[in-house]
Amino acid sequence: MSVSSPSVAVVGVTGAVGQEFLRVLEQRQFPFSRLRMLASKRSAGRTVTFKGTDYTVEELTEDSFKGIDLALFSAGGSISKKFAPIASEAGATVVDNSSAFRMAEGVPLVVPEVNPEAVEGIEPGRGGIIANPNCSTIIMLVPVTPLHRRAGVKRMIVSTYQAASGAGAAAMAELEQQTRQVLAGEPPTCDIFPIQYAFNLFSHNSEVGPEGYNTEEMKMVHETHKIWNQPEGRRTAIAATCIRVPVMRAHAESISLEFESPLAEDEARQVLAGAPGVSLIDDRQANRFPTPLDATGNDDVYVGRIRNDISLDGTGRGLNIFVCGDQIRKGAALNAVQIAELLL
């Protein structure tokens, strides 16, 4: 084994993100010397096919990481809290997709297009935990960071339009079921969410804090400050409103930016056109801008509606953009694999 060809474990391999891990690893021809498929006891014994080879899913236990150099986790926060430190102690370098370690001191929180320097000195096989940010944070920061580097984002207001897939396969199935029920004039089944999802939208289903913001919204605030390495007293002012919409896959975000320095929309468009991980769909004449379907299954974050903020007319310091990104792919699996690639 060499660092350039690590032994890899995929934790939570039978879930939606775990399956996307495998697709991304294959498509990007990620090098590995050995691959171990791990999941719950309930899924153990199932067969998973990867690159033409059948693998038997093994039960995740405390002994699962012997000889593993790199562990990709997507099995939920409670599993990560228990098993990621065990994997690290066994020598596996962990890239964790849950929220368990994102704000932990000393744990890098990484978007490869934004802060790749955060993983300098970390190598597979030497332990350690690296956190994958929240999907909404990733989708926001891939296009916003190059603008921030050019003009300094002083204030950011973001509204998200989040797909059912962000709440898991059961939420997607319920949205499909409800759509059929409502169209047939039947009462909708509401098992995953307490209110009707089909033909409706509602505030994100995470816990609302005393200040009135839910957990998803505050993740976008705190994670941005950490990823941008902003100390207290010099942090960008950020406020988010996160909404569930009846879309199967890929999140959309409306982002309003106020800058420290003037930034014309034409210059912003040039910056975004050259930014890694960004694709433009910005045709005013045809009224053609990004949609969740554009982003579904694709790596890039799509950006459009690039326009001066008329509420700051005359200053040249305001810009509004609209973005769409596949939260299972770039918002989860792809970002984690890109982090792993940085370690090789």
Characterise 52 by phi-psi region: left (phi > 0), alpha (psi -120 to 50), beta (else).
left
Tokens of 296: 């579904």
Strand order in the sheet with 202-203: 202-203, 237-244, 153-162, 251-259, 318-325, 301-308, 278-280
For the question of residue 324 being annotated catalytic, the response is no
CA distance 220 to 138: 9
Residues 6 or more apart whose Cβ sits within 8 Å of residue 274: 146
Q: Token pair 């700051």 is at which residue?
A: 312
For the question of residue 190 being annotated catalytic, the response is no
The 3-state secondary structure of 141-193, one letter per residue: HHHHHHHHHHHCEEEEEEEEEECHHHHCHHHHHHHHHHHHHHHCCCCCCCCCC
- C-beta of residue 140 within 8 angstroms of C-beta of residue 228: no
What does each C-alpha distance from 280 to 31, 152, 290, 310 come to in angstroms? 31, 21, 8, 22
3-state secondary structure of 307: strand
Residue of 204, 242, 251, 324 with catalytic role: 251
Residues 6 or more apart whose Cβ sits within 8 Å of residue 261: 150, 151, 152, 317
Residue of 135, 148, 204, 242 with catalytic role: 135
CA distance 37 to 18: 9
Tokens of 101: 């370690």
Task: List active site positions.
Answer: 135, 251
